[in-house]
Amino acid sequence: MTDLPSTPPPPSLFIRPSHGWSALNLGELWRYRELIVFLTWRDLKVRYKQTLLGASWAILQPVLSMIVFTLIFGGVGRMAEGLEIPYPIFSYTALLPWGLFSKALTDAGRSLVTNRNMLTKIYFPRLAIPLASVFSGLVDFAIQFAVLIILMFYYQTTGTVTSSVVWALPLFLLLTLITALGVGLWLSALNVIYRDVGYTLPFLTQLWFFITPIVYPLSKAVDRYPSWEWLFAINPMTGVVEGFRWALLGLDQPDFGLMAISSVIAVALLVSGLFYFRRMERTFADTV
């Protein structure tokens, strides 16, 4: 008999866990960019579905908050004393980034549990879900920003905006998104395992609000409670709020050391949140 030629063995395939930045596989998000756009658009449509006022709530919420803060903190609390600008403008300017942050934080924190059906049926980068929750808040931010311009004309404060610092506004907007996404990734991954996270989100958001200089000037808080200055420094939203007021209203130059600390904390939250999210991603479908 003629010996048949032997078939060469198949090549060996070694599967190793990825390390470092390659473990994040961020390039996959670009390949699924259409899905992220779709999820963002879906969140926008669902947000004001079956509401009488629709997207008008994007205007009413910060405006009504501004009025309440002006009456309570600007009037009774005397936070308006010594300000160079009207208190309504002072508070509304801070509510712009805060509204974007708090909405993104709440939606991203609950996003995986809300979309549990998608997690168990099809494959896609799970990071797309909290990312879409953060991006959807940009539409409300744009509407609220237009209202701020109108208020500035009404209170005749448009002259306070200096062209030399307005360019920094996109940087502070980016810092807001980084902070919201970083914290949102931690909370969304934890919420899959511990549903208590969903119940603590309102309390966490409210507590974070009061340790952020929104209704009061940072200088007054530091002068009255100097031992708490470290708390404001490690709060990423402190740098965001101070930066918005500086860029839009032309107020005194903020403490760049404090803003640098806030920025470092925000980036650390994002990087650690990305790695933790990727580490827990393999268990989402089984746990949710």
- pLDDT tens, 44-90? 777 767 666 666 777 888 888 888 888 888 766 666 676 778 888 88
Q: Give me the percent of the chain exceeding a pLDDT of 70.
A: 82
Is residue 15 a part of any domain in this protein?
no
The alpha carbon torsion through 72, 77, 82, 86 (nearest 10 deg) reads 0
Is residue 127 a part of any domain in this protein?
yes
Provide the token pair at 233: 């420094």
Is residue 100 a part of any domain in this protein?
yes
What is the DSSP annotation of 50-104?
T-SSGGGHHHHHHHHHHHHHIIIIIIIS-TTTT-SS-HHHHHHHHHHHHHHHHHH
Using the predicted structure, report yes or no on whether residue 150 has a pLDDT greater than 80: yes
Is residue 166 a part of any domain in this protein?
yes
Cβ 253 vs Cβ 95: under 8 Å: no
From the list 106, 16, 23, the residue with the least C-alpha distance to 277 is 23
Sign of CA dihedral 57, 60, 66, 69: negative
Q: Give the model's pLDDT for residue 14.
A: 45
Cβ 130 vs Cβ 188: under 8 Å: yes
Q: Give the model's pLDDT for residue 8.
A: 63
Q: Give me the percent of the chain exceeding a pLDDT of 90.
A: 16
Is residue 14 a part of any domain in this protein?
no
Return contacts of 229-234, CB within 8 angstroms, 24+ apart: 232/258, 233/258, 233/261, 233/262, 234/261, 234/262, 234/265
C-alpha 255/C-alpha 242 separation (Å) is: 9
C-alpha 270/C-alpha 24 separation (Å) is: 12
> Residue 96: CB partners within 8 Å, gap ≥ 6?
62, 141, 144, 145, 148, 244
Q: Give the model's pLDDT for residue 265.
A: 92
pTM over 0.95: no
Q: Give the mean model confidence (pLDDT) for residues 190-215.
A: 87
Provide the token pair at 286: 């089984």
Q: Which domain holds residue 154?
A: 27-287
Q: Give the model's pLDDT for residue 230.
A: 83
Query: What average pLDDT does the structure give for the chain?
Result: 81
Q: Which residue has the higher pLDDT, 157 or 207?
A: 207
Using the predicted structure, report yes or no on whether residue 105 has a pLDDT greater than 60: yes
CA distance from start to end of the chain = 61
Task: State how many domains the chain has.
Answer: 1
Using the predicted structure, report yes or no on whether residue 220 has a pLDDT greater than 70: yes
Of the listed ranges 34-43, 88-97, 155-164, 265-274, the least confidently predicted one is 155-164
Q: Residue type for 229, please?
A: E
Is residue 18 a part of any domain in this protein?
no
Is residue 74 a part of any domain in this protein?
yes
Q: Which residue has the higher pLDDT, 53 or 35?
A: 35
Is residue 8 a part of any domain in this protein?
no
Q: Give the model's pLDDT for residue 53.
A: 62
Distance between alpha carbon 21 and the CA centroid of its chain, in Å? 22
Q: Which residue has the higher pLDDT, 283 or 40?
A: 40
Rg (alpha carbons) of the chain, rounded to whole number: 23
Using the predicted structure, report yes or no on whether residue 288 has a pLDDT greater than 90: no
Q: Give the model's pLDDT for residue 159.
A: 56
